[in-house]
């Protein structure tokens, strides 16, 4: 006796594939991986900066740390643009921040100026790295909690990328002024510790999110950014020193103005 014909001959082909855990297999567009790939490239830049610092190629090491900072600013924006935010991407980005801004800069500075004070220099490196990881941990806890930060465009404490730039300011100044005497190692140690404490402080620091501009003045803002970009490309180290000092001025201004983020329950 013949079996009746199958009314659904393509039933097996239409059945979605599952992995060994019984979860549906889905395809992921490669373009959605670009933010994570940028983050990984940034980690590679930070680790390579440590290598160049160990080899004595300090200018290239600093440039790689700066490149990692640029990539750090791009990956998050690209993820939001592509709507490819993920928990893995957030954790990867936090790890990249620690490597690129909490480990690479102090190690490069240690190789550059602190090897004559190995014990004190290493203690300052450790303090800065620990302060950076505490800063990142506090940031992650606040953003994952049910408390909403009404920051008004201000951060609590100096962000880790800005801290990395500030802690390398003695190197910027040394590269900008040919044959300039090195800053004493002891001063660099105290300076590094001070910047590390700023990372975990509650000092309000200005963010680009606080900046607004009228439509009539957009053209002047664009010209200003072009000027800064040209200055960085032409007189890199002097411009970086000036930008670092400008940021310090903004921190002091925010502190004197009494800016402080308020917190409220998320609705």
Domains located in the chain, CATH noted: 30-265 (1.20.120.1760)
What is this structure's pTM? 0.81
Q: What is the SS3 assignment for 206?
A: strand
Angle at 249 between CA 102 and CA 139, to 5 degrees: 35
Q: Which residues pair with 150 in a beta bridge?
A: 262
Kindly state the DSSP code that residue 113 receives in the 8-state scheme.
I
Q: What is the distance between the alpha carbons of residues 78 and 88, in angstroms, rounded to a whole number?
A: 15
Higher pLDDT, 168 or 256: 168
Which single residue is written with the structure tokens 């900008």? 176
Residue 225 confidence class, pLDDT cut points 50, 70, 90: confident
Residue 8 confidence class, pLDDT cut points 50, 70, 90: low
Higher pLDDT, 246 or 83: 246
Cβ partners under 8 Å of residue 45, min gap 6: 64, 65, 67, 68, 71, 100
Cβ partners under 8 Å of residue 122, min gap 6: 110, 114
As a whole number, mean pLDDT of residues 200-223 equals: 78
Q: What is the distance between the alpha carbons of residues 78 and 81, in angstroms, rounded to a whole number?
A: 5
């Amino acid at each position: 006796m013949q079996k009746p014909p199958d009314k659904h001959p393509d039933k097996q082909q239409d059945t979605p594939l599952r992995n060994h855990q019984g979860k549906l297999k889905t395809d992921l567009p490669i373009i959605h991986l670009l933010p994570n790939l940028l983050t990984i490239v940034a980690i590679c830049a930070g680790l390579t900066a440590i290598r160049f610092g160990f080899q004595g190629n300090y200018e290239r090491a600093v440039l790689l740390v700066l490149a990692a900072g640029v990539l750090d600013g791009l990956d998050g924006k690209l993820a939001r643009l592509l709507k490819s935010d993920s928990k893995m991407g957030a954790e990867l980005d936090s790890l990249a921040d620690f490597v690129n801004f909490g480990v690479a800069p102090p190690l490069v500075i240690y190789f550059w100026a602190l090897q004559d004070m190995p014990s004190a220099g290493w203690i300052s490196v450790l303090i800065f790295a620990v302060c950076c990881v505490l800063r990142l941990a506090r940031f992650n806890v606040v953003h994952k909690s049910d408390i909403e930060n009404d920051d008004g465009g201000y951060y609590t404490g100096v962000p880790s990328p800005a801290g990395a730039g500030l802690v390398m300011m003695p190197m910027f100044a040394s590269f900008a002024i040919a044959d300039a005497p090195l800053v004493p190692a002891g001063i660099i140690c105290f300076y590094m510790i001070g910047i590390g404490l700023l990372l975990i402080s509650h000092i309000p620091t200005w963010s680009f999110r606080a900046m607004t501009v009228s439509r009539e003045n957009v053209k002047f803002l664009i010209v200003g950014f072009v000027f800064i970009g040209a200055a960085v490309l032409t007189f890199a180290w002097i411009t970086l020193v000036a930008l670092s000092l400008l940021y310090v001025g903004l921190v002091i201004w925010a502190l004197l103005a009494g800016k402080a983020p308020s917190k409220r329950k998320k609705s």
